[in-house]
Amino acid sequence: MSGKVRKRNITKHEQQTNGNEKANLKSRSVSRGSHGILIILFMMVAITWGIAASAYFGLVDYKALIGIKDSSQLYEKTSANAVSNDDSAKDSGFSKDHTNDKKISGEPTDHVDGEASTKEEQPQAESKMKPTQEKNKKKSSQAKTSSSSLKAKSGSSNQLSLEQNKTLLKQLQEGDELLKKKKVNEALSVFEKIISSNPSSPSAIFGKAEALNQKSLQQRSNKILIESLKFYDQVINLPNCPKKLKKKAGLIKAERHIFLGQLKEAVITLKKMAETFPRDTDILNQLGVSYLYVGNTEKAQKVYAKVLSIDPDNGFAQVHFGFILKTAGDWIKGAYYLKLGIESMAEGTQEGKFYFHLGDALHRTNRSTEADEIYKLGAKNGLFKSKYQRSLYNVNRLQSHPFWTPAEAKVNNYVKTLESKWKMIRDEALNVMDVEKGLFISEEESLKDTGDWKQLTLYARGQPQKDCKRLPKTCALVSKMPNAHGCTRGQIKFSIMMPGTHVWPHTGPTNCRLRMHLGLVIPKTGQGAWLRCADQNRTWEEGKVLIFDDSFEHEVWQNAESFRLILIVDVWHPDITEHEKKTLSPI
Ligand code: LMR
Ligand code: MN
């Protein structure tokens, strides 16, 4: 089962359903094949109340990116979590929950819940078995039907135990039926009743865990979810637990830990599972994901190398291995594995983030035509809004085009203020540059191809940054612009770029903001400096504001003979509602 990659066509539904990062859930969830129940659970979460555990790693600081401290998606929690400190590619699809955003690649919504007990295990009165009978049980667990396995067992058992088995089977089936109907309390009573007479019945304990898990979804209760984890754990630790059930319980438990933000616990669970099932690629794949969550890229890389040694065609491992290599700077090998993985069409591989990084890796290794093809395919498959607009954290209804006028962006007043005060802003920035050069930090997102590019951030994610007070006049000015300083999906920052700088084509993380550039020092010597956004080139003018949508691919060249200085002010996209401004997760 862990051998062959299951091909999966992108359905019409998926192509047409727009949205975004909630779909990331899918990639992290179950790798391939037989874990329908996991997929179901994850979909329940996403569908029921829209929070999807999503991304798991970024380019630079995984921990910061997923907001380890604040990464849980607790039921009681209403506001979304912090995502990434800054801009662009670092955040290319790997951030955590973005509650209000819509899906890009949709999951089918019809599903059956509560596949609590597998058919194979149901007929067995596990707790009453002796070691020799356990062997039989293992065999019988492979039996096709409940009755055949019952018969198989009856040979080595007396009539009474057959009766017991029948009763147990009936009770387990009853519990499962109730779970399917979402009658969780009744299911719980049934499983608890079985447990009272069969205290170590793996199926009953698993059923109880499932019932509690389902109840926690219904009631959005962390407490109940945490309670359910105890029972998944019991299942895993039962000496008489059938392997298949153990695996299922382990995978669900790990996923639920991640949901709760208990990332280390997820690693511990999966490590333990990997000890029991050292060559199980489903478990290893999830172990790799959990390592990425806790920022242990090295271990994740090793795990995926192992999966690929066991199953070289494992698409899930290929995309993750490729992603790790690419973000570590090995663009050639990264592209190689990303491409293989995406082409496998295996579960968990059709994610915007993988297309995003494959395109980027191809472009950076002189394979721009292929990059273009990947971007087009990503757009066609609904992973990107268009081949140029590749942001992954989107609100779908927003109008979009590369360049904007102040009137279109509804920022006439802001533009007027910035343009009338541009010299004051410039002088304050130049003064800080002279006095404290160290305040300008080199770009950290691997966006730069050549040259020198530094930034000084005043606001990020709607919060003033510590250096804001070094530029009191500029900060006072922007503090009167709520759609700018309050834009939790953007920043306000100075950007200085030295001659000889080229910034790779890249795409910001979200379509929820527009980016204003106020020209402060714009050299016209040499070949000048310019910005390409989608298929249009522009340059800056001193004292003038240029507005573009940085969710479209953009690229910068600085080939003048002296530095270029601008103030970048992100503002909420004019179509974003007041409610969204308050509730969209910060980026
Ligand atoms: C960008 O926003 O990515 C660039 O335009 C920044 C810059 O300094 O030009
Ligand atoms: Mn940019």
pLDDT in tens, 361-379: 999 999 999 999 999 999 9
What are 429-467's pLDDT values in tens digits?
Answer: 999 988 777 899 998 889 999 999 999 999 999 999 999
Of all atoms in ligand 1, which is nearest to the CA of residue 453?
A: 8
Indicate which residue's Cα is closest to atom 9 of ligand 1: 556
Q: Which of 84-93, 216-225, 292-301 has the lowest mean pLDDT?
A: 84-93
Q: Which of 164, 167, 162 is nearest to 151 (CA)?
A: 162
For residues 167 and 24, give the distance between their C-alpha atoms in angstroms, rounded to a whole number. Answer: 42
Segment 411-440 shows an average pLDDT of: 93
pLDDT over threshold 90, residue 511: yes
When mean pLDDT is compared across 11-15, 493-497, 550-554, the lowest value belongs to 11-15
Name every protein residue with a CB atom under 6 angstroms from any ligand 1 atom.
495, 497, 515, 531, 550, 554, 556, 566, 568
Quick one: DSSP state of residue 393? Answer: B
Residue 406 predicted with pLDDT over 90? yes
pLDDT value of residue 120 = 28
Protein residue with least CA distance to atom 7, ligand 1 = 495
Which is more confident, 358 or 134?
358
Residue located via tokens 């998926």: 14
Q: Ligand 1, from 531, 539, 541, 565: best to mutate by most atoms within 8 Å of Cβ?
A: 531
CB 291 within 8 A of CB 297: yes
Count Cβ atoms within 10 A of the Cβ of residue 476 and give its class: 0-12 exposed, 13-18 middle, 19 or more buried: exposed
Q: Where are the beta strands (DSSP E) in 418-461?
A: 441-442, 448-450, 453-460
How many CB atoms neighbour CB 275 within 10 A?
9
Query: What pLDDT does residue 92 have?
Result: 41
- DSSP code for 319: H
Q: What does pLDDT average to over the chain?
A: 79
What is the number of the ligand 1 atom nearest to the C-alpha of 531?
5
The CA 354 to ligand 2 mean position distance, Å, reads 19
Band (pLDDT 50/70/90 cuts) for residue 330 is very high
Query: Of the bound ligands, which one is closest to the alpha carbon of residue 515?
Result: 1
What percent of the chain has pLDDT above 90?
A: 68
Q: Residues 495, 554: contact at Cβ < 8 Å? A: no
Tell the residue nearest (CA) to atom 2 of ligand 1. 550
Cα angle 151-152-158, degrees, rounded to a multiple of 5: 70
Of 52-66, 372-386, 502-516, the range with the lowest mean pLDDT is 52-66
How much is the pLDDT for 74? Answer: 55
pLDDT at 515: 98
* Atom of ligand 1 at shortest range from CA of 496: 8
What average pLDDT does the segment 487-505 reach? 97
Which residue has its alpha carbon closest to ligand 1 atom 6?
Answer: 495
Ligand 1 pocket check: which of 447, 503, 530, 548 to mutate, most ligand atoms within 8 Å of Cβ?
A: 503
What is the structure's pLDDT at 118? 28
Of 49-63, 124-138, 228-242, 573-587, the poorest mean pLDDT is in: 49-63
Q: pLDDT for 139-151, tens place per residue? A: 333 333 233 333 3
351 alpha carbon to ligand 1 midpoint, in Å?
26
What is the model's pLDDT at position 443? 86
Measure the CA–CA gap between 26 and 383, rounded to whole angstroms.
Answer: 13
List of residues 6+ apart from 36 with CB closer than 8 A: 115
- Ligand 1 atom nearest to CA at 455: 8
pTM of the model: 0.77
**Burial readout 384-412 (b: 16 or more C-beta within 10 A, e: otherwise):** bbebbbbbbbbbeebebebbbebeebbbe
Name residue 268's amino acid.
I
